[in-house]
Structure 1
Amino acid sequence: MSLVIDETIEIDAPAAEVWQVLTDFERYGEWNTFCVEAASTLRPGDPIDMQVNLGGNRRAQREWIRSHTEGTEFSYAMKPVPLGALHSLRSHTVVPLGPNRSRYESRFTLAGWLSPVVTLALGKHLRAGFGAMTAGVAQRATSH
């Protein structure tokens, strides 16, 4: 059984502003309580290095950029655990809804035969974290 976390929010800000918030990794610590640090080139195949807050415990996380369409979307995945034990995909998508309105779509999928164990251990923290990040993106984009 997979863990899927979908978060979508409409934001009273242009898509370009939401994109800027999502890709300004150096400023994540100013607004993002879940992924408090991040660094990446966003080039497919390159790493994205993060510090993730899971229930008050920060942990380093390195994943790999899967896709990137400037101004629209980027996604990344963990290095799969052998034998199909665990794999993930995280995506961020920005959809323009007009000149000063947009939609941010956040999706996380964790699958593999070990995913129920990880979900039991971390599911609550992951759901809370992704929800807080989604709200943070909206707040940051509308405050500029």
Structure 2
Amino acid sequence: MPSESVTVERHDPFAVYDPETLVASDPIEIDAPAMLVWEILTDLPRYGEWNPFCVWAQSTLEMGAAVEMRLVDYANPGALAPNCEYVCAFEPGRLLSWELLDNEVWPYPARRDQMIEELGPEKCRYQSTDAFFGPNGIHVMRFCGPWVTRAFNDTAKALKARAEAMHKGA
């Protein structure tokens, strides 16, 4: 009997969101298995050991669960900014996303996607995006876009270093 192949559609923020309000890290190739990178991304208590942007995080990572974070404030060096978003996608080895919904108190909705693409048994590609929504999205992009891009690139480079060191057993 022939085996069935199942194609799982990839989440593509570049096709879904307005490019005028989408921040993206550079795609980065990591010489480590995709599942090892996934394990690092989902081990929130250890973010402070390697992540230069999100230095503290806590969540069950269940759908809809809060993700409490402390972020380095690139616009105000030396300061940490508290942040809370909610898990909206969780695909092991592939996609970890959280979002901030629009509300009257903080009318700046956004969605962060962290994507892993397996390139082979010991190689993958990582990229992170943040889409800013609603009528304030373009203003958030103009104010925050450059430093969020820097923060995401810093995180991607640190993730690469952490995963490759762990994969080599260092």
Show the counterpart of 2:35. Answer: 16
- The 2-side partners of 1:116 and 1:80 are apart by 15
Give runs of aligned pairs for residues 1-144 of structure 1, distance below 5 A. 2-7=20-25, 8-55=27-74, 56=77, 57-82=79-104, 85-144=107-166
Structure having the higher strand fraction is 1
- The 2-side partners of 1:120 and 1:93 are apart by 24
- How far the C-alpha of 1:134 sits from its partner, in A, is 1.0
Structure 2: segments with no counterpart, 5+ residues: 1-17
TM-score, structure 2 normalization: 0.77
Residue deviations 1:44-69, cap 9 Å, x none?
A: 11111110112222111000111111
Structure 1: segments with no counterpart, 5+ residues: none
- How far the C-alpha of 1:42 sits from its partner, in A, is 1.2
Q: Which has the higher contact order (CA 8 A, sep 6+)?
A: 1
Deviates more, 1:121-130 or 1:111-120: 111-120
- Which one has the largest radius of gyration? 2
Instruction: Give the counterpart letter for 1:95 in structure 2.
Output: E
Deviating 4+ runs (over 3 angstroms): none
Q: Is the 8 A contact 2:22 2:141 kept in 1?
A: no
- How far the C-alpha of 1:22 sits from its partner, in A, is 0.8
SS of the residue 1:52 aligns to: strand
Residue deviations 1:14-51, cap 9 Å, x none?
A: 11111111111111111111111111111111111110
CA RMSD, Structure 1 to Structure 2 (Å): 1.8
TM-score, structure 1 normalization: 0.90
